[in-house]
Amino acid sequence: MKHRHTSVFALVTLSLTLTGCASNDFRTDGIEEVRVSGSDGFSSFQERDIVTFDEPESIRVFEDMLREADEIPGVANVVGPEYDIEIRFEDGETDRYYLWLNDDAKSASSLYDADDTNIGYRLPADVTEKLINLLEPGD
């Protein structure tokens, strides 16, 4: 009987741990297009020099970016973002993000939800590399 309680406890602990691993609530379903521009800072989204990505393989890079973003503990003191990202969904909804893309493809980059800039998110090196290849080809 004692062994059974240990197994049940282990399963409950594992499920709570896995449930707690969700690092964000970013929406990734139904992305229609992603619009990206160089950022003018936190105050507003830049409306010039926008590049639109609507091909499935490009959209997948941004889905990975959102899905793999891990919350950074604490409040970051950062300079203005490099990129403004606007994600448009098939249902007409729009989400906006600020992106700091690390120059080193083997390092992490940062992402902030434009509606809540008090919480930062770390992007893993593999996502950074995909973003560099997409946003800065030939650099």
pLDDT at 110: 93
Of the listed ranges 1-15, 45-59, 60-74, 84-98, the one predicted with least confidence: 1-15
Sheet holding 94-100, edge to edge: 51-53, 31-38, 83-89, 94-100, 109-113, 116-123, 70-72
Global pTM value: 0.77
The dotted CATH code for 2-135 is: 2.60.40.4400
- Residue 113's CB is within 10 A of a number of other CB atoms, namely 19
On whether the CB atoms of residues 110 and 99 are closer than 8 A, the answer is yes
Beta bridge partners of 38: 83
- Does the pLDDT of residue 35 top 90, yes or no? yes
Domain ranges for the chain: 2-135
Say what percent of the chain tops pLDDT 70: 77
Quote the tokens at residue 78. Answer: 């950062």
Q: At what angle do helices 125-135 and 56-67 cross, to 10 degrees?
A: 150
- Does the pLDDT of residue 139 top 60, yes or no? no
